[in-house]
Chains A and B, each alone.
Chain A
Amino acid sequence: ENVLTQSPGTLSLSPGERATLFCRASQSLNSYYLAWYQQKPGQAPRLLIYGASNRATGIPDRFSGSGSGTHFTLTISRLEPEDFAVYYCQQYGSSPWTFGQGTKVEIK
């Protein structure tokens, strides 16, 4: 099983600041098969990034993804109030598909 480890667990930042979230895979992964989701309380996850670096339809360009192999990054260039949420990475490269444990971005 390809275990995804996200760091940090919690990120305390102010609106307008830059957020950098990390996702490390226990096994090398084709970047086609890495996605990032945002989840707010009481809601389903929402797709942000697919293929490690491709923004989903309607996602603002302040969200960007990068990485390859075992190290992937989600960057939010300038935090807006609606960006405070939990973020998950997910891999589809090998079965079982797995999610990271999440990074909570909270208001400082």
Chain B
Amino acid sequence: QVQLQESGPGLVKPSETLSLTCTVSGGSISSYYWSWIRQSPGKGLEWIGFIFYSGSTNYNPSLKSRVTISVDTSKNQFSLKLTSMTTADTAVYYCGRLSLNSPYWYFDLWGRGTLVTVSS
């Protein structure tokens, strides 16, 4: 059974860079699209971006200037970097897998989420 697990710091200072990793266990990262989504009380659920296992990416335009998503197939992991963090970036960050059920798109698997708080 494939599972996703987010890891990274729970506390980030304003202006710093957030780095999170999602580890895929019980299956291969290959052949799928992988994504980051966040959820905050103020903005609800917000899609951050996705990466194909080969490395091609697509980002939310509202975050594009600050986001980098990368993949390490040798470790079965993909990662999120979000620069210039502010209090507005405080949220639960989820990693997710996109289905291969063409032509449909949907998140068929989610990690449990990790709370990231931005505070000095």
Contacts and interface: CB of A to CB of B under 8 A. Distances in A.
Interface of A: 32-33, 35, 37, 43-47, 50-51, 54, 56, 88, 90, 92, 95-102
Contacts of B104: 32-33, 50-51, 54
A88 B45 contact: yes
Contacts of A90: 45, 106-107
A99 B46 contact: yes
Given A33-B105, A102-B44, 17 more contacts: A32-B103, A33-B104, A35-B105, A35-B106, A37-B107, A45-B45, A47-B107, A50-B101, A50-B106, A51-B106, A95-B61, A96-B47, A96-B62, A97-B60, A99-B44, A101-B44, A102-B45
12 contacts: A32-B103, A33-B105, A35-B106, A43-B112, A45-B94, A45-B110, A56-B108, A92-B105, A95-B58, A96-B61, A99-B45, A99-B46
A79 to B, nearest CB: 23
A50 B106 CA distance: 7
Interface in B30-61: 44-47, 58, 60-61
A88 B101 CA distance: 20
B113 A44 contact: yes
Contacts of B46: 99
B100 to A, nearest CB: 12
Q: Interface range on chain B: under 10, 10 to 19, 20 to 34, or 35 or more?
A: 20 to 34
Contacts of A95: 58, 60-61
- By secondary structure, the B interface counts as loop
A81 B113 CA distance: 25
B99 interface: yes
Contacts of B44: 88, 99-102
Contacts of B14: none
Given A44-B94, A99-B46, A32 B105 contact: yes
A56 B101 CA distance: 11
Closest 7 CB pairs of A and B: A44-B110, A92-B105, A99-B45, A50-B106, A35-B106, A97-B47, A96-B60
